Amino acid sequence: MKNWLNQHVRVLLFTIRRFYATPLSSLLNILVIGIALSLPTGLYVLMQNIQNLAEQAIGKPQISIFLSMDANQDDISRISKKLKQHDEIKSVELVPRDQALEQLKQTTGLADVIGGLAQNPLPDAFIVYPKNLHAQALQALRDELQQWPKLEHVQLDSAWAHKLEALLNFGRLAVLILAMLLSLALVAITFNTIRLQILTQREEIEVSALIGATNNFIRRPFLYFGLLQGLLGGVAAWLIIIISVALLNSSLTGLAELYASHFTLHPPSAGDSLTLLLFSAYLGWLGAWLSVKQHLLSML
């Protein structure tokens, strides 16, 4: 185990020295990978911020439940308890009929007309805040609540949720297509880089094979080079996004103040950042592996 680990450490150090041996070409390759990866990742981060902005501006969807006029206090308590225990409901707010009538007086300016009514025409109501904000989940919850007894009407304003979800789904598909195309380009970059290294080290590889070096031993430095190049490209992409978000926020602050808002762009989360680095490292390794498989083994 110790010998195996020492071999990998020596190969890694050798790979790092190879980067230092050709600093300009290595830096250019890393920058190309970073810029290419920053495009789909930046669009993904922008979509996340747009979703947060839309939720802040429009508010999260809620379901209004209007009880039957003959519902008594026991019915209200039973329904309230059942709503709070529902797995798909985050919180519940009770709006008594007297409170609803008072709010109607204050907001409509018809206090005299409402005050002349013989009885309160408004029912007791609940405001339900769901956990799952996807349009289909909201619709399913609305349909389920509609079947409960003593519930006269269940209202869901989900039109904006459907529009937002459709827009985000379109954006995600566009980002996915762009990411796939650029991933192929990055694999091709690593493929050609490793191919040139194999051609320049052809005699060294043949000598190593003659003295008993295994295929894994010969292949290992190239795989490490591709993996490290991809990882550094991911770091470059992450830095580009962080710097871009910081620069945009410096200009966005003044614009948001004009609209009495405090909206700022958020950088990628820790999970998204880790995914970016792992994915970029994998692309580099994949490009190296394909190049080695095609060019190196044909030489031995």
Q: Residue 24 corresponds to which amino acid?
A: L
Model pLDDT, residue 131? 81
pTM exceeds 0.85 = no
Q: What pLDDT does residue 248 have?
A: 85
Distances (CA, A) of 85 to 78, 81, 94: 11, 6, 15
Q: Are residues 34 and 119 in the same domain?
A: no
Of 133, 157, 181, which residue is a domain's last? 157
CA 15, CA 13: separation in Å to the nearest integer? 5
User: What is the pLDDT at residue 241?
Assistant: 93
Q: Are residues 105 and 126 in the same domain?
A: yes
Statement to judge: residues 92 and 7 lie in one domain: no
Domain identity same for 98 and 32: no
Domain that holds residue 47: 2-57+163-299
Over its length of 300 residues, how does the chain's per-residue pLDDT go in tens digits? Answer: 666 666 667 766 777 777 777 778 888 888 999 999 999 998 899 888 877 776 665 556 788 888 887 778 888 888 888 888 888 888 888 888 767 666 656 555 555 545 555 566 677 788 888 888 777 788 888 888 888 888 888 887 666 666 777 787 888 888 889 889 888 888 888 888 888 877 777 776 667 667 766 666 777 888 888 888 999 999 999 999 999 988 888 777 766 666 556 677 888 989 999 999 999 999 999 988 888 887 766 655
Q: How many CB atoms lie within 10 A of CB 99?
A: 13
What pLDDT is stored for residue 211 in this prediction?
A: 73
Strand order of the β-sheet with 89-95 is 89-95, 125-130, 63-67, 151-156
* Cα separation, 24 vs 32, whole angstroms: 12
176 and 283 together in one domain: yes
Q: What's the confidence (pLDDT) of residue 281?
A: 92
**Does 225 lie in the same domain as 90?**
no
Work out how many domains the chain is built from and give that number.
2
Same domain, yes or no: 153 and 168? no
In the prediction, which pLDDT does 260 show? 56
**Are the C-beta atoms of 156 and 126 separated by less than 8 Å?**
no
Q: What is the pLDDT of residue 240?
A: 94
Q: Single out the residue of 101, 97, 126, 134 nearest to residue 116, CA to CA.
A: 101
- Domain match, 167 and 49 both: yes
**Cα–Cα distance list, 168 to 44, 47, 174 (Å):** 10, 7, 10
Domain check: are 293 and 177 in the same one? yes
Of 157, 190, 225, the last residue of a domain is: 157
* Domain match, 75 and 120 both: yes
N-terminal to C-terminal alpha carbon distance within the chain: 28
What per-residue confidence (pLDDT) applies to 115? Answer: 56
> What is residue 266's predicted lDDT score, i.e. its pLDDT?
86
pLDDT of residue 202: 73
